[in-house]
Amino acid sequence: MPQTFDTLMMAAYSQNFPPLLDLFREGEKADFLHVVVEGAVELHAKWNGRETVMAVVRPVSAFILAACVSDMVYLMSARTLEKSRIIMLPAGDLRSAMRRDPDLAMASMNELAMSYRVMVRHAKNLKLRSARERLAAWILQQSGLAGSTPSFFLPLEKRQLATYLGITAESLSRLLRGLQPDGVKVDGTRIIITDINRLRQVTELDHLLDDEVVTFEDRVS
Amino acid sequence: MPQTFDTLMMAAYSQNFPPLLDLFREGEKADFLHVVVEGAVELHAKWNGRETVMAVVRPVSAFILAACVSDMVYLMSARTLEKSRIIMLPAGDLRSAMRRDPDLAMASMNELAMSYRVMVRHAKNLKLRSARERLAAWILQQSGLAGSTPSFFLPLEKRQLATYLGITAESLSRLLRGLQPDGVKVDGTRIIITDINRLRQVTELDHLLDDEVVTFEDRVS
DNA sequence: CAATGGAATTGACCTAGATCAAACATGAGG
DNA sequence: CCTCATGTTTGATCTAGGTCAATTCCATTG
């Protein structure tokens, strides 16, 4: 509803952030819903000296909706990966707006449902695939995200990608080299798929394990 | 709203299921929202011959809400653990009811947010804790769930618990024995915490990693 | 353009947890 | 009460991936 949009937007901030800036830390009270409009944001978590990247959020999506709607504490920390534009709206305003506007409520529900499914897939990946398979699947997925190009640049540092995949940086380095005979070439921060069929033999993408690639075209249609 | 409740309930089925009955399989279209009213349900997933338990759902909670609201395919399969009473309501009816009734929408949103957070914690556990720590935390949590008793019975077979924890049945057996000097005794399907302080030294429960224990008393108040 | 500091790679080695195979329990059905 | 099937434990062995340390590779900054 336009009027909901207007009142919500009056209370909202739109801000530009430089790369690698911390937006909030796990354990803090969720006061604002964040929406990435441009750039990319990483969700990560720490415990007992270990750290792991949980997800990378790209435009246009909300993140930590769950903490906002249920008025709880963040379970993950957030940091920009690139220069990013982010809209922040007060969690309280959001909640009351949702109560008034069923369309907004349904849209939020959908967003939340998608985040849930992303997390389910992440956990399934960790439990059902080997590190090698996870890496292969990630590369296939990434190339799909970039528009089915055989070559793309890493959106995060390798060290962080490693934690996302649930392995160490050293293991990632070795696995990456180990995938060379399977159709993957690495040149610094660039990944080139030289033989997609060989790579698919390592792991086939599976819509129950890998996020459906939602391109910008899908979103606007 | 009472009227929403009535119309929804008219389209709903309430059914009793015996233990170990499959309710639905991953990949199927989500036609019904399921709500456990009595008993317990296990959500699990399979891939390439491997299988893993993702969550155990206890009364009163809805499961696979995410698949229902976004009209997608189940990402997990469901099976009863015990004799269970389950209410099933058609996903379509649910969606239109939510559009009409903001209270229902908000309640569903909350339920979904909780499921999301359960899954985030599950993934964090897998990535940040060792198998031994996961097991210790699970035991501490379970004893809390059972009302802070030092002794409780396993709600699932050890083989399945193992996959939930992301290890093999053999490893679980060994880890369980390995926790004996740390205050855990095992007698068949019963776990006894003989020294909770020692056990806490293996891992401390952490509300950012372990599900907050929601007792029945919390729920009704 | 040199110096510097973090990231990435490589090598050597180690270990948590997996795998395989063989007993061993245990519980449901006859 | 026995039997059979399925789950559990134990032992022996293996290996994926971790750890630690030493280079090497960049990208910044002075």
Q: What residue segments make up the domains of chain A, in order of their start?
A: 2-124, 129-220
Chain B residues in contact with A117 by the CB 8 A cut-off are 66-67, 70, 72, 75
Question: What is the 8-class DSSP label of residue A29?
Answer: B
> Is the Cβ–Cβ distance between B90 and A90 less than 8 Å?
no
How sure is the predictor about A147, in pLDDT bands with cuts at 50, 70 and 90? confident
The CA angle B80-A112-A206, to the nearest 5 degrees, is 65
Locus of tokens 């967003």: A111
Chain B: residue nearest A106 by CA? Answer: B99
For residue B167, the model assigns a pLDDT of 98
**C6 C1' – A20 CA distance, angstroms?**
15
**C24 C1' – B194 CA distance, angstroms?**
26
Chain A residues in contact with B75 by the CB 8 A cut-off are 117, 120-121, 124, 208
With a cut of 90, say whether residue A107 has pLDDT above it.
yes
pTM: 0.94
Strands B22-24 and A77-80: unpaired
| A184-196 average pLDDT score | 95
| A139-148 average pLDDT score | 85
For residue B219, the model assigns a pLDDT of 54
- Cα distances (angstroms) measured from residue B198 to each of B107, B179, B204: 40, 10, 10
Distance CA(B170)–CA(B162), nearest Å, equals: 8
Architecture of domain B129-220: Orthogonal Bundle (1.10)
pLDDT (tens digit per residue) in B5-24? 888 888 899 999 999 999 99
| A30-45 average pLDDT score | 96
Of all protein residues, which has its CA closest to the C1' atom of D20?
A170
Chain A: residue nearest B116 by CA? Answer: A116
CATH fold of A2-124 reads Jelly Rolls (2.60.120)
For residue B57, the model assigns a pLDDT of 96
Chain A: residue nearest B133 by CA? Answer: A48
- H helices present in chain B, as ranges: 2-11, 65-69, 91-100, 102-128, 131-145, 158-165, 169-178, 196-202, 216-220
Note every long-range contact of B148-154, with CB atoms under 8 Å and residues 24 or more positions apart, other chains counting: B150/B192, B150/B193, B150/B194, B150/B196, B151/B190, B151/B191, B151/B192, B151/B193, B152/B190, B152/B191, B153/B189, B153/B190, B153/B191, B154/B189, B154/B190, B154/B191
How sure is the predictor about A212, in pLDDT bands with cuts at 50, 70 and 90? confident
How sure is the predictor about A84, in pLDDT bands with cuts at 50, 70 and 90? very high
Residue B48 Cα to chain centre, angstroms: 23
With a cut of 80, say whether residue B151 has pLDDT above it.
yes
Return the amino acid letter for A127.
K
For residue B139, the model assigns a pLDDT of 97
How sure is the predictor about B221, in pLDDT bands with cuts at 50, 70 and 90? low
Task: Give the CA diameter of chain B.
Answer: 57
The nucleotide closest to B171 (CA, C1' atoms): C17
> Is the Cβ–Cβ distance between A33 and A64 less than 8 Å?
yes
What's domain B2-127's superfamily in CATH?
Answer: Jelly Rolls (2.60.120.10)
For residue A91, the model assigns a pLDDT of 94
Token couple for A104: 């907004």
Residues paired with A34 in a beta bridge = A63, A88
Question: What are the strands, taking DSSP E only, across chain A?
Answer: 13-17, 22-24, 32-38, 41-47, 50-57, 61-63, 77-80, 84-90, 151-153, 184-187, 190-193
Q: Which of A76, A95, A113 sits opposite B70 (nearest CB)?
A: A113
Residue with the bigger pLDDT between A148 and A215: it is: A148
Phi-psi region of A148 (alpha: psi -120 to 50; beta: other; left: phi over 0): left
